[in-house]
Structures are given as structure tokens and as C-alpha cells.
Amino acid sequence: GAVVSQHPSWVICKSGTSVKIECRSLDFQATTMFWYRQFPKQSLMLMATSNEGSKATYEQGVEKDKFLINHASLTLSTLTVTSAHPEDSSFYICSAVGAGSYGYTFGSGTRLTVV
Amino acid sequence: AQKVTQAQTEISVVEKEDVTLDCVYETRDTTYYLFWYKQPPSGELVFLIRRNSFDEQNEISGRYSWNFQKSTSSFNFTITASQVVDSAVYFCALSLRKTSGTYKYIFGTGTRLKVLA
């Protein structure tokens, strides 16, 4: 139980384009979803916290207009990297919390490469 | 300050050796959760254990064991008889409840474990 699906697992896009990453809770309702960014050989850094039906709360230093987060339902949150640049290349991973989920369950991550 | 420290950046052991991964945390909260995750090369985070601040009982799960000591703010992880498949980056994390009701999750910098055949 408590499975989180993240899609796509990897994406390559051209500089200036936008990329959408989906995070879904498959067997539980995720009241809260978290988005993290991980640079190579580094730890996970929390980007933002989203609660279903409300605006996301962004961590200091994370551009809201650059990383758009939508949590429209209890099972889906999306992260859109707008006007992507090579420095946005990173591993993005989401986690979800909800009634019945044990601890924090993570998606499998999305490796974004901007060329 | 709220912080998780994993002082060991990288550890190499030979298969069948025991290895302990250290984790030291800082928080003034009395209620918190501690986690260990495994991140293999594929990138996904595999949940290993969650421990709440009121439960100092050590836990064993197969070859894995955890030692939680509030007196030293440590939550160490031991792998007994390590195997090549244990090679991965291991993250310790601290979860704190925010005033908004959500949780803040703080990761350590990770320890890269290499188990050599």
C-alpha cells in the first residue's frame, strides 16, 4: 500500500520550453505532497509543500513562477518547470502523505535534462 | 537549529562485513520522527524505517538494525553481513510538525555505501 507514482521517469527538453511532472498517489488520498530537488551526489532539498485545493508553500529561494505546483485533487500534484534552462537539470522527486500512508512515501523521481 | 548530520560521506566494505551508518540530528521539538531511506543508482527512495521520538526501542529487521539514542541525538543504522546489493546512498531524515499542521522534512547529506565482492 501507499504507492506514489511519478511520471515521467526521465525527460530531455530544449532550453526555453516547459516540462510538467506528475505525482500520483495510487492507493491513498494524499492530503499533502512535497516536491524535492536533488543535484548529483547531493541531498534532497525541499522545494515546496502542496496541500490539496490550496496554494503551494515554497521554500526560501525557490521561484514560484519558475516552478509551478498544482495539487488539484487528493491523488495528483503536478510540478511544471517553466522556461527551462540547463541549470534546471536535476532529479526531481515527490513524496505524499495522507491518511493510511505509512511514513512518507516517495515517487520514483524524474531526471530532467535541459539541453 | 534543525539539522541532520551524516558525517560519513562514503564507506567501502567487503561483502559479509558489518557496517554502521551514523546519523545525528538536532531539534528542540519533543515530538518528531526519524527515517532511513535507501537510494539505489536508479534514484528512487526506498523507505526503510520510521521511528517516533517517544519510542527508543531498537529495531531489527533481517540484516538491518537501528539504534535510537535520544541522549546523544543519534539514530544509527547497522547492516549485518553486508551484500553487494546493499550498495546505495542511504539518507537519514528528520520530520517535524510545523505550526501550519504539515510536516517539515529534513534530510541528511547521505552516506554512499559501497559493498565490494
**How far is C-alpha A93 from the geometric centre of its chain's CA atoms?**
5
E-strand stretches of chain A: 4-7, 10-13, 19-25, 32-38, 44-51, 57-58, 67-73, 76-81, 90-97, 105-106, 110-114
CB of A40 within 8 Å of a chain B CB? The answer is no
**Share above pLDDT 90 across residues of chain B, in percent, rounded to a whole number:** 73
Query: What distances in angstroms separate CA A44 from CA A99, A105, B39, B56, B97, one per listed residue?
Result: 24, 14, 11, 26, 19
Q: Name residue B4's amino acid.
A: V
| Chain A to chain B Cβ contacts (< 8 Å) | 52
- pLDDT band per the 50, 70, 90 thresholds, residue A65: very high
Query: What distances in angstroms separate CA B66 from CA A61, A92, B115, one per listed residue?
Result: 35, 28, 19
Instruction: Specify the higher pLDDT residue, B99 or B20.
Output: B20
User: Does pLDDT of B35 surpass 70?
Assistant: yes
| Cβ–Cβ under 8 Å, residues B89 and B48 | no
- CA of A108 to nearest chain B CA: how many angstroms apart? 4
Query: In A, which residues are within 8 Å of B45 by CB distance?
Result: 44, 93, 95, 106, 109
Contact B35 A57 (CB under 8 A): no
Tens digits of residue pLDDT in B9-21: 999 999 999 999 9
Give chain A's mean pLDDT: 90
- CA of B14 to nearest chain A CA: how many angstroms apart? 22
Query: In B, which residues are within 8 Å of A105 by CB distance?
Result: 47
Contact B45 A49 (CB under 8 A): no
Residue whose C-alpha cell reads 560519513 in the numeric block: B8
CB of A102 within 8 Å of a chain B CB? The answer is yes
Label residue B25 exposed, middle or buried (CB < 10 Å: 0-12, 13-18, 19+). buried
Select from A43, A46, A91 the Cβ nearest to the Cβ of B109.
Answer: A43
What Rg value do the Cα atoms of chain A yield, rounded? 13
Tens digits of residue pLDDT in A79-115: 999 999 999 999 999 998 876 555 578 899 999 999 9
Query: What distances in angstroms separate CA B47 from CA A20, A43, B12, B108, one per listed residue?
Result: 25, 16, 22, 15
- CA of B107 to nearest chain A CA: how many angstroms apart? 6
